[in-house]
Structure 1
Amino acid sequence: MTEPRLPDDPAGADASVPAVEPPPQAASSAGPAPSSGPAASPGPAPGRPLVRSPFSDGAWHRLHPLTPLLRGGLTLVVIVGLIVANLRERLLELFFPAFTDLPPDPVDYLFANNLLLIAGGVALGVLVVLLVLFRLSWRFHTLRIGDDDVEVRSGVLFRTHRRAPLDRVQGVNLTRPMIARLLGLAKLEVVGAGLDANVKLEYLSGKDAEAIRGDILRLASGRRLAETGTAADERSSLVRHAAAAVGSGLQGIVDGEDLSDAEPASIVRIPIGRLVASRVLSGSTLVLIAFVVGIAIAASVSTLWLLFTVVPMFLAFGAYYVRSIARGLRYSIAPTADGVRVTFGLFTTVSEIVPPGRVHAIEVRQPLMWRPFGWWSVSVNRLSGRSSTDTSTDQFAAVLPIGTRDDVERVLRILAPTLSGAEWTLVFRDGILGPMDDDPYVTTPRRARLLRPLSWRRNGARLTPDALLLRRGFVWRSLSVIPLARLQSVGLRQGPLARALRTTTLTGHVIAGVVHTSLGALDRDDALALFENTSRATISAAAGDRSHRWAG
């Protein structure tokens, strides 16, 4: 395989530009922090302009005082669960007097041996120790937002210092879990340009989280922050913080997601009926039907093993449907000054902003059962900054879970705004809906149609001034759009059978993800010409790309 290597980008600031650069260092872990303890500064550092958020003044700040409750609350829940489990017999006797023949519980043993005071003292001591540890972890967990990076220090005995350079920021996600929403809190995740490179800020008040996200994106864009911020009131008591947060959280539950920071309203609306139908008409439903048929056949032979398979299986499928439908509820997508804003989730609400130049590949898909209704989905490849074992990575890939042609067109126009009118014809008429009679795509030659017996006419590629288009599939149709400015390299691969048929596989190398960026069974000569043209066009696109500093 031969791959042209691209020269370094003149800007040199974005891991997503099509250049070969050293591994990104979006976040780093260091040893012990400086000996000076973390201190919260009530005002901006000397010589720095005021900003929207009091956290963005370049000084170290602590997170919300209720953070220990959410980060360590699981331990308290476990303790309460143990206590309730040990008192279960007494609770049953209290609420259900008919159940009197109960085995002795540990509390009876404590009463009988006069150990109640000792047990209470031990429980109280454990609770005090946990509260002290939670308080210490909060005091030593600080953040700083400067002109060039976001830093977080944490840990009491083992100190950790993580730093995310702003010119490598791939996005900022704002998540509101259900419990945090009730308390009016949210957590931010600054997406870095590397593996396990994200910097998490958890937890902050909802208003502070929105303001901090806006400041980070504005600094990453190359703009100076507006001088509209005010100093934080660091002398407020914990009770006042808690009361204000809970009041804001309850009001947020009533009012719904606060999208005031988004400039326009959502450009796509997904009816709940369409969302439910799209999940029913999916591949998982076919798997469920196959399982039901298999169980019905096996039940006529034996029923013992059904107890161990039927119930867990249906519970798993039910949880999948509920989770996928709940995730699509309250969905919105809108262009903002700092990128594309996508919000989704009923119970845990996630709001992410993908800045310009951070989308490395786009794919429009249509499963077979969606075709009569004209439904499509849109997914993207982008850096998530998470580890490869993190199962939540895929949830940020689908930017449009289900939509009509008009919905897809609106989403593509904000994800790929550089596509011209002529290119748009290649995307929709010839790419998504094609092939047409005057098909401009390079497709599988007739001599190799046995390699793609159903889709050899549709299997094709096309190069435009701004993107490489890869079209595939007859049963499950898809179109991949790879912006040339994000393309790292392009390669050709040919096996023994392909050599015999004079075909090859073309691959565009970008950030790994759910989007398919390779296409096989292309004519060898056509693929070689496409290879050379794509190489030259990619270098030209990289030289003129400045989307990593979209306001600079």
Structure 2
Amino acid sequence: MHTTPPLPPSGPASGPPAAAPSLTDGEWHRLHPLTPLFRGGLFLVVIAGIVIANLRDRLVFIFLPWLDDDIDVEVDEWQSGDPIDYILANNLVLVAGLALLAILLVLIALFYLSWRFHTFRITGDDVEVRSGVLFRTHRRAPLDRVQGVNLTRPMFARLVGMAKLEVVGAGLDSNVKLEYLSTPNAEAVRADILRLASGRRLAEARVAGVAPSVSRVANAASVVSAGINGLITGAEEPVSEPESVVHIPVGRLIASRLLSTSTLWLLAIIVAIIVGSIAGTPWVLFSLVPALIGFGAYWVRTITRSLRYSIAPTPSGVRITFGLFTTITEILPPGRVHAVEVDQSILWRPFGWWSITVNRLSGRGIADANADQFTTVLPVGTREDVERVMRLLLPNLPESEWPLVFEHGVLGPKPDDPYTNTPRRARLLRPLSWKRNGFLLLPQALLLRRGMIWRKLAVFPLARLQSIGIEQGPIDRALSVAGIRAHTISGRVYGRLGILDRDAALALFEDAEAAALTAAASDHSHRWAGDPSVPEPVDERRAR
């Protein structure tokens, strides 16, 4: 019996959906189509604010007519020179409407050209960004010099599922920014950049099988589609993050900011204002009240920046997330931390709180106000929190040497102190901290301990140490003491330690030089995945 074969189904072919186009395929891609709106949105907000401020009386008169008795006095003033009245009186409504339409079309054209000529590509060696219509710029960040990858999600951009990706370079103002991408694309691009920077091929980290090739037109269409879907769906999708090893209660965070040196300055300002008011010098109010408002804004800003804080290990490095309104997620790849410091003020000592700061290349200028937020990796934490974070930042330190870091370094001195401290003959130069002022050289790091009122322990990984120097002034020569300085990149971690025995400082100079050369020769953290044929136990421990 003859049977007729079934007709093929109409419409698109059935089967598994094609894989989404990759943004790290070495081709040039464009950013999120809403990027010009958010990058130029501040300008539009300022223009709208000026217009609303100039028309506030008319808006009140139109939308709140029951208040007309209160503003009758001002009506004649704004009607006499009001441009809207001029347009209505001279029947220029159509002309004004066409002018506004022309301005709107020009803005749309400028936004489109800005988006059209802003492209990026990610190859196996670099991250490149081209931008500009009349004046073109081309920036490139070598992957083997990547110091970190930051993901910033401002509050308004998060409403439509957008994020800003920043590849941190090794030089000053060398960061390459991709602003903006959809949040899923930004997460995927960051993961691919870190895989490439580690020396691992992308194909080894992806699911087996070759993804179908996708043309640039299809790729651009998918980006536009993602932008439209972002407008429809609204808020961003939840971003999966590894569980944090530290949880900071909000009460502890607020209390730590209140118990700080800035609080003492604030109290001094308040006292000065009260005294000035009583003494009849009102000029004090004009000079100190703005400072009081500034301190209040600083407090609120530091607290909101530290909310939603988390820190966790990942195969690509340490992942740090912070920020309430603008959420910032940064990943520090292995070997990118040049110095670590644990410090505790006397105001925090009764509560057992500590903070941790680092020296790292942020790719930002010294004048950048946001550069400081990338140096604090633990705003406030207990002893257990400090140990967990320190183990993440210093994964190569052997287990047997951790008591030298925390028990003797952070909490010391203790009996059988292994640190070399200030000699007794020079204790007058360090009357409070001479027993604590000392150093300890380990095969992997140099430890500098100082301070009694403000306890500090600075750890300098020898593989990152640039040089070490000895300093000696006339008083030092008379007492046969000297100071040492560990040279690293500039930052909040201070590398100088003074008032040490001269012979001990000379011995440290020789030993640290040899140890730093040995550590640097065995360091391969710029490509931490390494050769696939050579296993690296450091990465295995980090992955666990």
TM-score by length of 1: 0.86
State the SS of the aligned residue for 1:529.
helix
- Asked if residue 434 in structure 1 is aligned to residue 412 in structure 2, the reply is yes
Work out the CA distance in 1 between the residues paired with 2:489 and 2:21.
33
Q: How does 1:168-317 map to 2 (within 5 A)?
A: 168-225=145-202, 226-228=205-207, 231=214, 233-234=218-219, 236=221, 240-247=225-232, 249-252=234-237, 258=239, 260=240, 262=241, 264-317=242-295
- Asked if residue 492 in structure 1 is aligned to residue 477 in structure 2, the reply is no
- Asked if residue 456 in structure 1 is aligned to residue 434 in structure 2, the reply is yes
Between 315-324 and 469-478, report the one with greater CA deviation. Answer: 315-324
Amino acid at match of 2:145: R
Q: 1:355 aligns with which of 333, 346, 349?
A: 333
- Asked if residue 83 in structure 1 is aligned to residue 51 in structure 2, the reply is yes
Are the equivalent residues in 2 in contact too, given 1:53–1:215 (CA < 8 A)? no
For residue 125 of structure 2, what is the aligned residue in structure 1?
A: 148
Q: How does 1:19-98 map to 2 (within 5 A)?
A: 54-94=22-62, 95=64, 96-98=67-69
- Asked if residue 133 in structure 1 is aligned to residue 110 in structure 2, the reply is yes
State the SS of the aligned residue for 1:513.
coil
Closer, same or farther: CA 477–248 of 1 in aligned 2, 3 Å? farther
Q: Using the TM superposition, give the Cα deviation of residue 122 of structure 1 relative to its aligned residue in structure 2, in angstroms.
A: 2.9
Are the equivalent residues in 2 in contact too, given 1:186–1:205 (CA < 8 A)? yes
Amino acid at match of 2:159: L
Work out the CA distance in 1 between the residues paired with 2:527 and 2:499.
39
Are the equivalent residues in 2 in contact too, given 1:187–1:209 (CA < 8 A)? yes
Per-residue CA distance 1:34-66 (angstroms, 9 max, x = gap): xxxxxxxxxxxxxxxx99971000000000100
Are the equivalent residues in 1 in contact too, given 2:32–2:227 (CA < 8 A)? no
Work out the CA distance in 2 between the residues paired with 1:362 and 1:437.
25
Are the equivalent residues in 2 in contact too, given 1:381–1:515 (CA < 8 A)? yes
Work out the CA distance in 2 between the residues paired with 1:354 and 1:483.
15
Work out the CA distance in 2 between the residues paired with 1:526 and 1:458.
16
For residue 404 of structure 1, what is the aligned residue in structure 2?
A: 382
Are the equivalent residues in 2 in contact too, given 1:494–1:503 (CA < 8 A)? yes
Closer, same or farther: CA 387–251 of 1 in aligned 2, 3 Å? closer
Per-residue CA distance 1:169-228 (angstroms, 9 max, x = gap): 000000000111111100000000101110000000000000000000000001111344
Work out the CA distance in 1 between the residues paired with 2:283 and 2:92.
48
Closer, same or farther: CA 118–500 of 1 in aligned 2, 3 Å? farther
Amino acid at match of 2:146: V
Per-residue CA distance 1:359-397 (angstroms, 9 max, x = gap): 000000101100000000011101001122211111000
Closer, same or farther: CA 489–237 of 1 in aligned 2, 3 Å? closer
Work out the CA distance in 2 between the residues paired with 1:209 and 1:503.
54
Between 117-126 and 355-364, report the one with greater CA deviation. Answer: 117-126
- Asked if residue 101 in structure 1 is aligned to residue 112 in structure 2, the reply is no
For residue 19 of structure 1, what is the aligned residue in structure 2?
A: none
Amino acid at match of 1:278: S
Are the equivalent residues in 2 in contact too, given 1:172–1:213 (CA < 8 A)? yes
Amino acid at match of 1:167: D
Q: Using the TM superposition, give the Cα deviation of residue 502 of structure 1 relative to its aligned residue in structure 2, in angstroms.
A: 1.5
Closer, same or farther: CA 89–239 of 1 in aligned 2, 3 Å? farther
Per-residue CA distance 1:263-298 (angstroms, 9 max, x = gap): x41000000010000000011001001111111111
Closer, same or farther: CA 265–535 of 1 in aligned 2, 3 Å? same
Amino acid at match of 1:328: S
Closer, same or farther: CA 326–435 of 1 in aligned 2, 3 Å? same
Identity percentage over the alignment?
A: 62
Amino acid at match of 1:176: R
Work out the CA distance in 2 between the residues paired with 1:521 and 1:101.
75
Per-residue CA distance 1:64-102 (angstroms, 9 max, x = gap): 100011011122222222322232221121213232222
Q: Using the TM superposition, give the Cα deviation of residue 461 of structure 1 relative to its aligned residue in structure 2, in angstroms.
A: 0.5
- Asked if residue 120 in structure 1 is aligned to residue 92 in structure 2, the reply is no
- Asked if residue 542 in structure 1 is aligned to residue 510 in structure 2, the reply is no
Larger radius of gyration: 2
For residue 134 of structure 2, what is the aligned residue in structure 1?
A: 157
TM-score by length of 2: 0.88
Closer, same or farther: CA 421–60 of 1 in aligned 2, 3 Å? same
Q: Using the TM superposition, give the Cα deviation of residue 503 of structure 1 relative to its aligned residue in structure 2, in angstroms.
A: 1.4
Work out the CA distance in 2 between the residues paired with 1:101 and 1:241.
53
Considering only aligned residues, what root-mean-square deviation do their CA atoms show, in Å? 1.9
Per-residue CA distance 1:146-168 (angstroms, 9 max, x = gap): 00110000000000000000000
State the SS of the aligned residue for 1:100.
helix
Q: How does 1:386-397 map to 2 (within 5 A)?
A: 386-397=364-375
Are the equivalent residues in 2 in contact too, given 1:86–1:107 (CA < 8 A)? no
Between 489-498 and 150-159, report the one with greater CA deviation. Answer: 489-498
State the SS of the aligned residue for 1:360.
strand
For residue 455 of structure 2, what is the aligned residue in structure 1?
A: 477
Amino acid at match of 1:290: A
- Asked if residue 517 in structure 1 is aligned to residue 495 in structure 2, the reply is yes
Work out the CA distance in 2 between the residues paired with 1:176 and 1:202.
10
Q: Using the TM superposition, give the Cα deviation of residue 247 of structure 1 relative to its aligned residue in structure 2, in angstroms.
A: 4.9
Higher percent of residues as helix = 2
Are the equivalent residues in 2 in contact too, given 1:366–1:477 (CA < 8 A)? yes
Work out the CA distance in 1 between the residues paired with 2:484 and 2:289.
45
Q: 1:380 aligns with which of 349, 358, 376?
A: 358
Query: Which protein, 1 or 2, shows the higher relative CO under an 8 Å CA cutoff with sep ≥ 6?
Result: 1
Closer, same or farther: CA 518–512 of 1 in aligned 2, 3 Å? same
Work out the CA distance in 1 between the residues paired with 2:271 and 2:197.
54
Work out the CA distance in 1 between the residues paired with 2:387 and 2:453.
22
Q: 1:507 aligns with which of 479, 485, 498?
A: 485
Work out the CA distance in 2 between the residues paired with 1:52 and 1:546.
34
Work out the CA distance in 2 between the residues paired with 1:516 and 1:163.
32
Q: Using the TM superposition, give the Cα deviation of residue 235 of structure 1 relative to its aligned residue in structure 2, in angstroms.
A: 5.7
